[in-house]
Amino acid sequence: MILIVDDDAAVRSSLSFVLKRAGFEAGAVSTPDEALAVVRRSPPGLILMDMNFSISTSGEEGLQLLLKVKVLCPDVPVILITAWGSIALAVEGMRAGAFDFVTKPWNNLMLLHTIRTALALRSPVADENRPLNRLEADRTFHFGKIIGKSDALMRVLGAVSRIASTHAPVLITGENGTGKELIAEAIHANSLRKGQPFVKVNLGGISHSLFESEMFGHKKGSFTDAYADRTGRFELADRGTIFLDEIGDLDMSCQVKLLRVLQDQTFEALGDSRPRKVDVRVVSATNADLRQMIALRTFREDLFYRINLITIHLPPLRERKEDIPLLAQHFAAQQARQNNLPEAAFTAAAYDYLCRLPYPGNVRELKNLVERTLLISGKTLIDASDIIEQAGGRDHPLRNEPPHQEGFTLDELEKQSILRALETHAGNLSHTAKSLGISRAALYRRLEKYGIQPAHHPTGL
């Protein structure tokens, strides 16, 4: 049963009708005391709870009720109902353990999606579909583009398998080059929306002035140079999945606009006052620490709770080194197909060398190194010496370090790798970034992080 807790008779009646029409059993009460009595007698499967039960709009009664419910039945998901102007109150509820929040007036389709997601994630059946090994994962799910079978990767694929069929918004975190986009694609490919569009948006590459036009579209003549109607990314993704990459780079003013459409899946194109509704699943990704950004007031906490109902963290390549030989083989075969070359193999020494590199650029850096080695060496059997030559002439990944790595932090290893790459490429930042398998922007961030000043190199542009 779904329990509705709201002091407004019209709201109780409306929600009861929507839920019963969707096939759910629903019960409704008007006060916190009545709600607690129901919970003590027979815990419901889910609770829809208003935040205010008196003339006051502080939400204190709702928060107190939420805390008591979480003590009595901690596993029962609670979805909060609040007005748009009280989202800060909903954020307080999320901190206190609520599953999600909806705003009045609610979107019936989105409300039902949220309810079904909460119930699906609570169900023990969700764990039964978790792949125990790579063979089982490939037999049951679509993970063809994801290479590897390490425990760290299998935990990620297990999480994807559990949540893919829900409508839950997902936040994918991890360093640059770990493959966040591939995980987003896997979520879509294993979801109920797999036959619908998968729309990718790099938010870090959209300027503040073009954000609304890119995301929501515009009408002809709505601004200078708007010579024709444009369909926005959200409309293109209708009934499918939209992938919001680099969401941590989004300007604060744009975050507000994004929050609004994520909240009720309604938007207006520039130059058009007609609201448009869409049904999209949102998958976001970032390499930034969003909680730290919230503390620094550079990322909205309400948007954070809206995008990360489920969080999947991708481990860096250095934490799943047993996948490196498989990845190297995959990239070599891929390169052979693309360039019509004979397939190449690796010696044991080559694999050993590859597995000892620190990879600040993660999988992207490994791909770059393997492809460069194959193309330049022209060999069909790659030895460690061939890779060493393309990795900056190092006969040992940590030649300039003491023989044992245990005393060094990951940051120290990454810094040394960057310094060596800078030296190899005479300070040329474009070549250095490419050799590390990261973008120039990512390299700049690391240079600033480690206090490295490449300006003394005459070719540092």
* 288 or 405, higher pLDDT: 288
Which stretch of 29-38, 256-265, 403-412 has the lowest confidence by average pLDDT? 403-412
pLDDT value at residue 409: 61
State yes or no: pLDDT of 362 exceeds 90: yes
CATH number of the domain where residue 382 is located: 1.10.8.60
In whole angstroms, give the CA distance from residue 241 to residue 460.
Answer: 40
> Bigger pLDDT: 435 or 308?
308
Count: domains in the chain: 3
What digits encode the pLDDT tens for the residues 270-290? 888 888 999 999 999 999 999
Least confident window among 122-131, 321-330, 382-391, 399-408: 399-408
Residue 105: band (very low, low, confident or very high) from pLDDT cuts 50, 70, 90: confident
Domain boundary among 287, 315, 343: 315
Residues 146, 210: one domain?
A: yes
Residues 353 and 278 in one domain: no
pTM across the whole model: 0.78
Q: From CA 171, how far away is CA 287, in angstroms rounded? A: 11
- Considering only residues 346 and 272, tell me which one the structure prediction assigns the higher pLDDT: 346
- The band of 317, judged by pLDDT with boundaries at 50, 70 and 90, is very high
For residue 341, being part of any structural domain is answered with yes
Instruction: Tell me whether residue 59 is in a domain.
Output: yes
**Are the C-beta atoms of 244 and 236 separated by less than 8 Å?**
no
In this prediction, residues 65-69 reach a mean pLDDT of 93
pLDDT of residue 223: 75
- Residues with Cβ within 8 Å of residue 426, at least 6 apart in sequence: 457, 458, 459
- State mean pLDDT over 236-263: 93
CA–CA gap between residue 7 and residue 5 (Å, rounded): 7
Residue 120 or 201, more confident: 201
Q: Are residues 379 and 346 in the same domain?
A: yes
- pLDDT at site 372: 92
**Residue 425 belongs to a domain:** yes
8 Å CB contact between 240 and 280: yes
pLDDT > 80? residue 145: yes
Residue 135 forms part of a structural domain? yes
Residue pair 129/108 in contact by the 8 Å Cβ criterion: no
- Split at pLDDT 50, 70, 90, the class of 446 is confident
Question: Is pLDDT of 403 > 50?
Answer: no
Question: Would you say residue 460 has pLDDT above 70?
Answer: no
The domain boundary, picked from 105, 123, 141, lies at 123
340: DSSP letter: T
Joined tokens for residue 30: 């008007």
Q: What is the pLDDT of residue 393?
A: 57
Query: Average pLDDT in the 145-167 region?
Result: 92
Element housing 195 (H / E):
none
Q: Are residues 89 and 188 in the same domain?
A: no
Residue 57 is predicted with a pLDDT of 62
In this structure, of 144-148, 357-361, 406-410, 437-441, the range with the lowest mean pLDDT score is 406-410
- Give the CATH number of the domain where residue 191 resides: 3.40.50.300
pLDDT value of residue 457: 42
Q: Let me know whether 276 and 159 are in one domain.
A: yes
- Return the pLDDT at 126: 47
131 plus 90 within the same structural domain: no
Q: Note whether 242 and 202 are within 8 A (CB).
A: no
Q: What is the pLDDT of residue 56?
A: 62
Checking if the pLDDT of 297 tops 70, the result is yes
* Reported confidence tier of residue 204, pLDDT bands at 50, 70, 90: confident
186, 162 contact by CB (below 8 A): no
Q: What is the arithmetic mean of pLDDT over 30-50?
A: 93
Q: What is the rounded average pLDDT of the residues 431-449? A: 80
pLDDT digits (tens, 9 = 90+) for 244-253: 999 999 999 9
* pLDDT (mean) for 384-405: 63
Query: Is residue 247 domain-shared with residue 338, that is, in the same domain?
Result: no
pLDDT reported for residue 394? 52
d(CA 455, CA 461): 9
Token pair recorded at residue 230? 């444009």
Question: What pairs with residue 220 in β-bridges?
Answer: none
In a domain, 257, yes or no: yes
Inside any domain, residue 409: yes
- How does residue 175 score in pLDDT terms, banded at 50, 70 and 90? very high
Mean pLDDT of 298-321: 94
> Does one domain contain both 302 and 328?
no
Beta strands (DSSP E) in 62-111 are 78-83, 100-104
412 lies in the same domain as 308: no
Q: Tell me how far apart the alpha carbons of residues 427 and 327 are, in angstroms, rounded to a whole number.
A: 29
Query: Which range (22-26, 356-360, 364-368, 395-399) has the least confidence?
Result: 395-399
Flag the least confident range among 126-130, 145-149, 378-382: 126-130
Q: What average pLDDT does the chain have?
A: 86
Domain for residue 372, yes or no?
Answer: yes
Domain final residue, candidates 315, 334, 351: 315
Task: Specify whether the CB–CB gap between 166 and 120 falls below 8 A.
Answer: yes
Together in a domain, 101 and 135:
no
If asked whether residues 114 and 148 sit together in one domain, one would say no
The residues that bridge with 81 in the sheet, in sequence order, are 50, 102
Asked whether the predicted pLDDT for residue 430 surpasses 70, the reply is: yes
How confident is the model at residue 404, as a pLDDT? Answer: 42
179 lies in the same domain as 116: no
Least confident of 101-115, 339-353, 364-378: 101-115
Residue 378 CB partners (closer than 8 Å, separation 6+): none
Supply the pLDDT for residue 219: 83
pLDDT of residue 290: 95
Q: CATH number for the domain including 95?
A: 3.40.50.2300
Domain that holds residue 265: 127-315
pLDDT at 44: 94
Q: What is the pLDDT of residue 17?
A: 95
Domain assignment of residue 461, yes or no: no
